[in-house]
Structure 1
């Protein structure tokens, strides 16, 4: 390599991915020339091109969606309770008081009155009739908002099957309406306890899996309802999810010097999320997406002694160091740009 005489020469060196030394010589007018290593790196990978998603990882808690307080509808003694973690579905007993079951039926309107012959004009009647049909009762019954003789006979048949006195009328001691199946989270009573109407029996939750995040308000722009995220579960498995709720009220810091936070809830769309409740997880929130860029594995970057980064381009068994500008990071890769770079070029990486 020829040099111009009379100019000040300074040197800088960097260790390449293959463990070799590449020398840069800077001449007095600011130009830079490169001295290529004698051999290529022991391992290479091609420069890729495409979209790159930049993510930020935050802590979250894996739990179950929703909360329901299950209360006694009758006075008496608790004679049976479900175990914590059990899922109770339509037609099954939430609790037994004096051996009589308080049965779960699906609906959004609480049972606020006794449903019996002649009652009409409310969605609670239709809810009851829909559940009786789903459970196999009332073949000749029309599902509407009127409690007819056909409804009464369906109720009598159901009461006979589950062990209630066959009155043909339904009240809170017999049925509790909830939107869907309920999972027993925390028992509030024990077998043998005396209870009264309205007294807590247990706390339940939905069966869907969600992740709750206390997100620093400084990162609030990362959370957008409907945005896709990934969640790393205990054990390392990664599942997909979507942000289902973003709080609008900031909470005070949990400790002095901490940051205020907002509530973010993520609904998991992946399956096999395990049975852990209140388990710590890591949530990857998308901070930005860059489109159609060149990118390489992060480990292909080489720190230059004079500052910045470079990559080792390998061609025809020889290597040369090229300075690059980095951009977005995501998925273990980094966006790069620089003169002469192109998709498919081989870059040196550490041998594995």
Structure 2
């Protein structure tokens, strides 16, 4: 009856991760092919000593499985800010400028159009007697800007109108106590101006500028076959164009696959630490898995046993014996093994 070293499910996953993520698979194939030609032994059999072979020690280490992919540093996909009515553009921010809550995004007919934080665009006139989530958005922003005397409770009351009048007066706007959809710009958070689409003096109802978030991020077109190996929260190292590195964290793994140039990819987004670059190409190394306190040998030490499975050739004095092993994670040219003791000397075929 043939004997084959058992590999449990978790170890098979590690083997598969090796083949998909690193050059370890090629190393393993080459090592096993070379070893099987020269050995083909049975577990426990001994051979006379020949010319002293290259050896390595079975050591207890931490293995880290990584993947390096190319990406692009930036601020994410831009959105277009448009005017909803006629008028003349009388002020525009500079490209690259940051706009926060309450600050003007642009001006029409010398009236500022301020930024409010939220996810629901204003779609109707907000005035005394109106209620809804859009009212709560306005009231929440007014409260954050320091205005008081009302409750942020989705109901537009006379107290809300008074706060709006004070706010309009502070901005130098016509004091009406009501808010029209085109009076404000709503965005999820601070904006960074990416590009200007309109010019000063333009009389238009349409695109004014494009903007992104103010948080730098890295976008990666990840091979769709690797998607299951990455998850939000994974740590990464981002190499910048000048060779320096900053930490990163996987923020989002796309669920929509696209095909381009015979490659099917999903978008991978990472948050990054502070950098001196705004945009540019980067290299991202993601830590896929870590195995702490495991026994490991060089991948090249694995040999194909005649009875099936893998083993290592253990050097004990002048004698060499084959010992079957079970393999685990492959990383950095080494492989996790069980079946040999820590400190044992194994042959690494050249």
Same fold? TM cut 0.5: yes
Aligned partner of 2:150 in structure 1 is 141
Counterpart among 69, 82, 93 of residue 104 in structure 2: 93
- Bigger radius of gyration among the two: 1
More helix by share: 2
Match of 1:233 among 233, 239, 242: 239
Question: 1 or 2, which has the higher strand percentage?
Answer: 1
1:259 and 2:271 matched: no
The reply to whether residue 112 of structure 1 matches residue 123 of structure 2 is yes
| Pairing 1:19-30 to 2, within 5 Å after superposition | none
Does the CA contact (< 8 Å) of 1:65 and 1:207 recur in 2?
no
The 5-angstrom pairing of residues 37-76 of structure 1 reads 47-50=59-62, 52-65=63-76, 67-76=78-87
Give, in angstroms, the shift of residue 70 of structure 1: 0.9
- Matched residues in 2 for 1:285 and 1:334: separation? 16
- Aligned residue for 2:7? none
Distance 1:172 1:149 in 2: 20
Give SS of 2:198's match: coil
Where structure 1 has 5 or more consecutive residues not aligned to the other structure, the ranges are 1-24, 348-352
Q: Which residue of 2 is the match for residue 294 of structure 1?
A: 295
Separation (CA, whole Å) in 2 of partners of 1:281 and 1:191: 40
Cα RMSD of the aligned pairs, angstroms, is 4.0
Q: Given that residues 231 and 283 in structure 1 are in contact (C-alpha distance below 8 angstroms), is that contact kept between their aligned partners in structure 2?
A: yes
Compare 96-105 and 77-86 and name the one that shifted more. 77-86
Aligned length: 298
Other structure's SS at 2:119 match: coil
Aligned residues of 1:96 and 1:102 also touching (Cα < 8 A):
yes
What SS does the corresponding residue of 1:121 show, helix, strand or coil?
coil
In the TM superposition, residue 241 of structure 1 has moved relative to its aligned partner by: 0.7
Which one of the candidate residues 157, 162, 169 is aligned to 1:160? 169
Alpha-carbon offset, residue 122 of structure 1:
1.1
5+ long unaligned stretches in structure 2: 1-37, 304-309
Deviation at 1:35, TM superposition (A): 5.9
Could you tell which deviates more after superposition, 84-93 or 57-66?
57-66
TM-score (norm 2): 0.69
Q: Structure 1 residues 78 and 45 mapped into 2: Cα distance closer, same or farther (>3 Å)?
A: farther
Structure number with higher relative contact order (C-alpha < 8 Å, ≥ 6 residues apart): 2
Partner of 2:16 in structure 1? Answer: none
Q: 2:133 aligned to 96, 116, 123, which one? A: 123
